[in-house]
Amino acid sequence: MSTEPTEFAVWAPLPQRVRLQLDGAVHEMTRDDDGWWRATVPAAPEADYGFLLDDTTPARPDPRGRRQPDGVHGPTRRFDPAAHRWMDRAWTGRPLAGGVVYELHVGTFTEAGTFDAAVTRLDHLVSLGVSFVELLPVNGFNGTHNWGYDGVAWYAVHEGYGGPAGYQRFVDACHQRGLAVIQDVVYNHLGPSGNYLPEFFPVFSEGGANTWGDSVNLSGPHSDEVRRYVIDNALMWLRDMHVDGLRLDAVHALVDERATHVLEELAAEVDALSVTEGRPLTLIAESDLNDPRMVTPRAAGGLGLTAQWSDDFHHSLHAVLTGEGQGYYRDFAEGGLAGLAKVLTGAFFHDGAWSSFRKRHHGRPVDTDRLPGWKFLAYLQDHDQIGNRATGDRISAALSPGLLAVGATITLTSPFTPMLFMGEEWGAGTPWQFFTSHPEPELGKATAEGRIGEFAEHGWDAAEVPDPQDPETFTRSKLDWSELEQRPHADLLA
């Protein structure tokens, strides 16, 4: 295979020496004053490489590596995103307003669990009236299957799904059918296995932590390059992979003490890219702050994101339809239909009101004269609200087909942007459970025990909680597409 002079660069201010290991050969790298190491050597287009940090072996994968064919512990393989022959030149994108979002997990959307297999089901989404396909995280994680929120190779695409080339084929196929693509990304933490970033640079803030582990360093020493690492990743999906938007996971866990929040900085750069690309680009926040400033334009003092999820809509509608009132559902159950009406007209239930779950006042009112309803996503089900139940039971397991239809009608006719979770359209009988495949036994055990502890706090029987590490937990969560032809599923879809 032919080679050409190629510059390899990595930001690594922590080690004193960095060497490039390229297809078995080792090359010295030169450091600049900002902590970037560089070397220009002949390399094949699909060469395997990694970095030797000081005396540590084996070589570590590239923090910005686009492909990890042997997993997150293996070498990085060069990948040129421009090599794909895109067929979507006529695609001009679509704005979120007036759209319908469909959330899916690649590994359980089809039996094969790949991008190519998912393409075979896209026509179903078109006939359903979907306009945006939202993928749960697909970046590199350790193991074979996972929800995606344990990612450590942010710039790579999980090889089991089809890698970056398969991802490009999927996006291309969506665009040819008029479907926009939203990619779920996680910038608030990194997964517990296969994370080599701390060996390169101070990716975590000193003494900072959130629900999932150490907080990403967004405002401490050396945070300029860490922020750049985050923002460049977002731009990569939108520019190189032709994605139309990003869903930003749990932005309330982004600890940023700077005058300009990283979300505001990201929104500004995405808006600029949108002009360059000539198509609308969407940023959707998952936030439990109930703060309308998330989606308020920057010129009006907000962060300038396009939209945000409304958990209050889900909680209120769920409580009304099911009668559940435990845990964080308590206020919504007590609010009843009046509470649901409040959410339908104001987006938030907790708009400064008392939250019994948080034991404090929570939220801020939405100025509905200035913020249109489409800036809030409404849903009866999503991956969290199903998967974080003890047995991962969908709401279809508790409601009659009639009540399911009521829930769907309210969701689809609300003033907000509706979102469906895969299989919801036919009242799927398969659960969506929390599954992992950590190769490390101790990590798998800790994950399972942690889940049991969480459910005990909500009054669920620990004995009912499936083992996340059991392969059957993953298999049970796959959609059964044969249900489309069966009653009552076919009746609900009709």
The residues annotated with a catalytic role in the active site are 249, 286
User: Could you tell me which residues come within 8 angstroms of residue 441 by beta carbon, excluding any fewer than 6 positions away?
Assistant: none
The distance of Cα 300 from the centroid of its chain, to the nearest Å, equals: 28
Q: Dihedral, CA atoms, 296, 299, 300, 302, nearest 10 degrees? A: 40
Say which residue the tokens 């009521």 belong to.
Answer: 406
10 Å Cβ neighbour count for 278?
A: 8
**CA of 451: how far to CAs of 381, 390, 448, 467, in Å?**
20, 9, 5, 9
Are residues 426 and 492 in contact, defined by beta-carbon separation less than 8 angstroms? yes
Question: Any bridge partners for residue 11, and if so which?
Answer: 36
Task: State the Cα–Cα distance between residues 381 and 437, nearest whole angstrom.
Answer: 25
Q: How many CA atoms lie within 13 A of 348 on its CB side?
A: 23
Look-up of token digits 């084929």: 169
Length of the chain: 494
Contacts of 450 (CB under 8 A, 6+ apart): none
- 409, 449 in Cβ contact below 8 A? no
Q: Is the peptide bond preceding residue 58 cis, with omega within 30 degrees of 0?
A: yes
